[in-house]
A = this chain, B = another copy of it.
Amino acid sequence: MLSKTKEHPSAEEIYLSVHKVYPAIGLTTVYRTLELLVQNGLVFKFDFGDGRARFELSENPQSIGHHHHLVCTGCGRIIDYTDFIDEEIELLKRTEKGLSKKHHFTIMNHLIQFYGLCDRCQKSR
């Protein structure tokens, strides 16, 4: 029913792609369905601060599901990085385990973002 068309599709992008297959479906239904899926942990909802929510299926193999970004606070550019992931994952696993136990949370995903200024924005000041 939900095809994975993009890395982090927005609700509207999901609507458009689903609409191709089921032209009868409306944007409202997409929103309502997404809300359900998110509440049941089947889909994750992220917010990169660009005004629209992003969604992603959580059925991925473990190796995926890491959301590590560099966000430029000057121009809003977002860079996905994959460096140092191994070390990070190792620590994150431990941290998740500890946090789950202590706060009685079932952790299903995580988001790591570094904020700063990209090369372009550093020069332009």
Q: Which of A38, A39, A96, A119 is the most central at the interface, judged by chain B CB atoms within 10 Å of its CB?
A: A39
Contact assessment for B118 and A104 in the assembled complex, using a CB-CB cutoff below 8 Å:
yes
Complex: A83 Cα to B70 Cα, angstroms = 24
Contact assessment for A105 and B88 in the assembled complex, using a CB-CB cutoff below 8 Å:
no
Q: How many residues of A contact B (CB 8 A)?
A: 49
Point out the residues of chain B lying under 8 angstroms from A20, CB to CB. none
**A109 at the B interface (CB under 8 A):** yes
Q: Which residue of B lies closest to A39 (CB)?
A: B74
A residues whose Cβ falls under 8 Å from a Cβ of B: 38-41, 44-49, 53, 70, 72-74, 79, 81, 83-84, 87-88, 91, 94-96, 98-100, 102-119, 121-122, 125
